[in-house]
Structure 1
Amino acid sequence: MHRSERVSMYGWIWRHLPGNTWVRAGISLVLVLATVFVLFQYVFPWAEPLLPFGDVTVDEGGAGR
């Protein structure tokens, strides 16, 4: 496989951002923070009732009994 065939998604994003290295780094930071914000504000609260976090199977007696 040639090096040009192994293209990562992050490399593609980096090459398509405008500006020099510092501007690209700032835009990348803003994109990451926006993604984290959207996940915590909208995606995780929506998915939480669908996940089995309340289904625990631990005995009340403890591990030593």
Structure 2
Amino acid sequence: MYGWIWRHLPGPLPVRIFEALLLISAVVALLLFVVFPWIEPRLPFNQVTTG
């Protein structure tokens, strides 16, 4: 999968590296600011009880 993405990035090597870093940053930002906050209340780790 990563090879397919790398082969389809346009430009010479420095531009490809910059684009790959930009894509990785976008995915991390999407996960941190959208996906993880959405899924956090649905996880069972918040219902901790001690008896």
After superposition, what is the alpha-carbon deviation per residue over 1:13-55, rounded to whole angstroms, capped at 9, x for unaligned? 0000000111101000000001000111110000011101213
The structure 2 residue matched to 1:43, chosen from 35, 43, 51, is 35
- The alignment's TM-score, normalised by the length of structure 1, stands at 0.70
Q: Bigger relative contact order, structure 1 or 2, given CA contacts below 8 A and separation 6+?
A: 2
Count of residues in Structure 1 that have an aligned counterpart in Structure 2: 51
5+ residue gaps, structure 2, are: none
Say which structure is richer in helix. Answer: 2
Which among 13, 18, 22 is matched to residue 21 of structure 1?
13
Q: Report sequence identity in percent.
A: 57
Which runs of at least 4 in structure 1 moved beyond 6 Å after TM superposition?
none
Across the aligned residues of Structure 1 and Structure 2, the Cα RMSD in angstroms comes to 1.5
> If you compute each CA radius of gyration, which structure gives the higher value, 1 or 2?
1
